Each structure stands twice: as structure tokens, then as C-alpha cells.
Amino acid sequence: MRVLITAGPTREYLDDVRYLSNASSGRMGYAIAQAGIEQGWDVVLVSGPVDLSPPPGCEFHAVVTTSQMRDTAIRLFPGCDGVIAAAAVCDYKPRERISGKLSKTGGPITLVMIETDDVLAELGRMKEQRWVVGFALEAQNPRENALQKLRRKNCDWIVLNAPTAIGADTNVCEFLGPAGETLAVWSGSKADVGNQLVQWLQATAADGE
């Protein structure tokens, strides 16, 4: 089974040296990639900037911006059986990128932000016979928001976790199905959670169930 995995944060530049991002370490996505390789999957890993080495044996694509992650994922997805979208992409970017370095003016500045590409939604729209696993990191109304995301972005399943997962070595996840049912609850190291997710998908998605 050939599986696309997205991991890590993306960056959106204000000028040539400053950017917006988040504290995602990429550990969850990389743990899933490692577990997939150990399961015998043909893993294609698309990653934003992280301080991790790609698991040996995967096909690796490094990106920086959300647009780059979108373009790379859209190009690679048709050759895969499914996607696990674990990346924590930036939702907004500055409307204009300033050339050079923005200097202090002695007063406040105003930034106009626009939405970035919705990578998961685009993959969901083009999935056809392929399967899609999304990740939802939610702070308010977590289960309701995760299920809305699952349906809005045409996912088959979604992994719900909390903001405490960002940058941590461990994770607590609720794995939700399309009818809103809880299919599993996983906790422990991100390696443990990644293994359990991969084993579930191997037993289910690989058999076309």
C-alpha cells in the first residue's frame, strides 16, 4: 500500500526574514511514517521545516510554505492509495510579502491576513477511490468541530487531539468515523499512537472495508 503522509508546520513569510508558523514538531507525522514503513507500506512523506531526519526507506519531499505543501501533495496523491494529513499548516498568511526586511517605524503596523490553501479539503475533493485521514487539533467544542471538519473536507476518518499535542512527545487521540462514532482512543508516545493508527488502517483500509 502506497500512502502519502503530511507532517510538520508550514511557514508564511511577512518579509524575507520573518514568518508566521506554529510549534508543531512533526513528531506525530514522522512517527506515522516510521510505523508505515515497518508495516511494509510504501511511504511518501511531505514535511514542513522540522528538526527531524526522515525515516529511512520513505520517499521524502521537503516544503516550507502551505502553497508548496499543497502543490506537492496534490501532485503525489493520485499515485497513492490514501493520505494521512498530520501536518499543522498555517491557516492564514500576510496578503503581501515585503521584499527585504521590514524596519521599525516607531509606531504600530497593521497586517492584513488572508486564508492559505486548504490542503486537506483539496485532497478530499480529489480522493475518488482513495481514502483520507485528517487530523483535527481543537480547543473549543473539540468533538463537534472535528466532525464538522471530517464532513466539510470529505475525510473518511479523523484523528482528534488537543493543543497539548503540539511539540510534545506524547499524544491522546480519539479516532472518529464518518457517522460520528468513536472507533478508537489511543494514548502514549507518538510512536505508540502512530503504530496503532497504522495497524488500524492496515486491517481496514488495506482490505477495502
Which is nearest to 126 in space by CA: 160, 84, 80, 77? 77
Separation of first and last alpha carbons in the chain: 14
Q: Are 2 and 42 in contact (CB under 8 A)?
A: yes
The DSSP result for 19-76, as a single string, is EE-----SHHHHHHHHHHHHHT-EEEEEE-S-S-PPPTTSEEEE--SHHHHHHHHHHH
Q: Which residue has the cell 502551505?
A: 66
Helix (H, G, I), strand (E, B) or coil at 85: strand
Q: Are 6 and 82 in contact (CB under 8 A)?
A: no
At 185, which amino acid appears?
V
154 catalytic? Reply is: no
Residues that are catalytic: 22
